[in-house]
Amino acid sequence: MLAKSLINDSIFYLRTSDTAITALNSMEDLRVSHLPIVNNKNFLGLISDTDIYDLNEPDEPLGNHKLSLIRPYIMQYQHFYDAVKIITDQKLTLLPVLDNNFNYLGCITLFGIIEKISQTASIDQPGGIIVIQVNSIDYSLSEISRIVESNDAKILSSYITSYKDNKVFEITIKVNKIDISPIIQTFNRFDYIITASFSEESNFDDLINDRYNLLMNYLSFD
């Protein structure tokens, strides 16, 4: 997924002729804390709501103020993972996208990033989640996939978290089966360490048990 495809068309840019009050009102309407300043497709930088609050003359055009604008951006051909890193590292609510000639194209919003991560992680798909811990030298996604598929299931998404100087990996996988107990049993037979597991079925069972206990308590009270 390239950065260009994530541009949010509802985010407009500011000009140096716009006032600080206009900028602040626009941020409130769009529910963001940053907006780009662009003149003739030339991206000048991002202004934040904190910058605006610090201005002594908010009714003056932005161009009349001495602004120390930050200039984070992403090129249109970069992967959206790069956008995630920049937005996270710099704590931004949006990120400008530039074309090959460094002209301003639009912005990717933090909400857009979260929405895309939700799609790539198959969060909206039914299934179960298994968290596996392995030594990095023993990690094999193909073997993990083979174990899952031997139980007539498929991996919908996966990601890795590294610990202890990259010597230990924690692999989180989501599979397209709600009943994941057979898969867990197979992992155990192959000496994998399962640190956590979650399934919609277990959540449903917990809900039923809670309702049952509430009912029993109510009847006992009477």
Q: What confidence tens digit (pLDDT) does each residue in 51-89 have?
A: 888 887 778 899 888 888 899 999 999 998 899 899 999
pTM: 0.69
Average pLDDT over residues 172-184: 93
Angle (nearest 5°) at CA 142 between 141 and 144: 60
CATH number of 3-117: 3.10.580.10
Between the CA atoms of 39, 42, 46 and 49, what dihedral angle is there, to the nearest 10 degrees? 10
117 to 112, 148, 191: CA distances (angstroms): 9, 23, 31
Residue 205 pLDDT class (50, 70, 90 cuts) = very low
Task: List where CATH 3.10.580.10 sits in the chain.
Answer: 3-117
Distance in angstroms (rounded) separating the CA atoms of residues 185 and 196: 13
All CATH 3.30.2130.10 domain ranges of the chain, comma separated, are 128-205
Neighbours of 41 (CB within 10 A): 13
The pLDDT, as a whole number, for residue 222 is 45
Q: Which of 123-127, 167-171, 179-183, 208-212 has the lowest average pLDDT?
A: 208-212
Helices and strands of the chain, counted as H and E runs = 7, 9
pLDDT score at 203: 52
What's the CATH superfamily of 128-205?
VC0802-like (3.30.2130.10)
Check residue 208 and give its pLDDT. 44
